[in-house]
């Protein structure tokens, strides 16, 4: 009798184990599918912008690659660690994925800064929402040139998250608890903005990028101690991303001028 019972017990154990495996595999099928869908969605979001190409001697650029702005940049700036020379050139074109009839949204000629380490080009303030590809050709005094590109987007719907202070002639931004308060604000052309440091540590008002600070050089202050102020009047419409260079990782702000 014992010889018959033992094989029967083994068969029952095998059947139970097999059923458990099938149930586990079936129950995990849906979560796995959902997980794959989530990963695919994340990859789609990440791939909205292409992979940038950096030329020789490239350092930084503004706007940042992959950034989405609530307004049109006043200009596009690219920074290098070697002297630039003619015929360095910047083109600002709308990505074919968003489509447009206009080929180049750059205005005027490409300008090489006096220090020869940055080049810039103004952007059409009427540029529509969409993804833009900035392609550039960086040339050196020996006449050799290297190309590169990056992308950014404009989405005016984002301005709804900005504190609307249009119509005010003077605005104060507090530098408090390692933050700009308010962080993002919308103002009118001709508005005077004053930053006041309320913290016991030094802060700076610096235009992007970091550490070049070349996008709008007028928006670069000296070190501001507790109680110190820095003021600037914004006369040109567009968006002005900035930061505190002493706390660049966390202390950022943006001003949209209409």
β-bridge pairing 238-243 and 252-257: antiparallel
For position 117, what pLDDT does the model report?
Answer: 98
Cβ neighbours of residue 75 closer than 8 Å, sequence gap 6 or more: 120, 121, 122, 123, 215
Question: According to CATH, what is the number of the domain 58-155?
Answer: 2.60.40.1220
What is the Cα–Cα distance from 162 to 241, expressed in whole angstroms? 13
97: tokens are 């994925």
Residue with the two structure tokens 């600037």: 232
Q: What tens digit of pLDDT does each residue of 89-114 get?
A: 999 999 877 766 568 999 999 999 99
For position 103, what pLDDT does the model report?
Answer: 82
Rg over CA atoms, the chain = 27
For position 166, what pLDDT does the model report?
Answer: 98
Q: What residue spans in the chain does CATH classification 2.60.40.420 cover?
A: 162-257
CATH class (in words) of the domain with range 162-257? mainly beta
Q: What residue spans in the chain does CATH classification 2.60.40.1220 cover?
A: 58-155
For position 94, what pLDDT does the model report?
Answer: 93
Residue 7: HSE in the Cβ half-sphere, 13 Å Cα cutoff: 3
């Amino acid at each position: 009798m014992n010889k018959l019972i033992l094989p029967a017990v083994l068969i029952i154990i095998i059947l139970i184990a097999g059923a458990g495996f099938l149930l586990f595999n079936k129950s995990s099928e849906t979560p796995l599918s959902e997980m794959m869908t989530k990963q695919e969605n994340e990859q789609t979001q990440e791939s909205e912008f292409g992979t940038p190409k950096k030329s020789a001697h490239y350092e930084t650029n503004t706007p940042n690659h992959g950034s989405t702005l609530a307004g049109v940049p006043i200009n596009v700036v690219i920074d290098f660690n070697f002297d630039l020379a003619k015929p360095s050139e910047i083109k600002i074109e709308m990505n074919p994925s968003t489509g447009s009839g206009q080929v180049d949204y750059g205005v005027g000629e490409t300008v090489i800064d006096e220090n020869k380490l940055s080049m810039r080009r103004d952007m059409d303030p009427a540029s529509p929402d969409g993804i833009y590809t900035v392609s550039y050709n960086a040339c050196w005094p020996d006449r050799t040139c290297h190309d590169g590109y990056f992308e950014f987007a404009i989405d005016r719907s984002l301005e709804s998250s900005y504190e609307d202070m249009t119509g005010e002639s003077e605005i104060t931004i507090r530098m408090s608890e390692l933050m700009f308060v308010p962080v993002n604000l919308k103002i009118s052309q001709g508005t005077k903005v004053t930053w006041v440091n309320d913290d016991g540590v030094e802060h700076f008002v610096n235009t992007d990028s970091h550490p070049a600070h070349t996008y709008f050089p007028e928006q670069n202050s000296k070190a501001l101690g507790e109680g110190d102020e820095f003021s600037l009047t914004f006369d040109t419409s567009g968006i002005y991303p900035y930061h505190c260079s002493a706390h660049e990782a966390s202390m950022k702000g943006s001003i949209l001028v209409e």
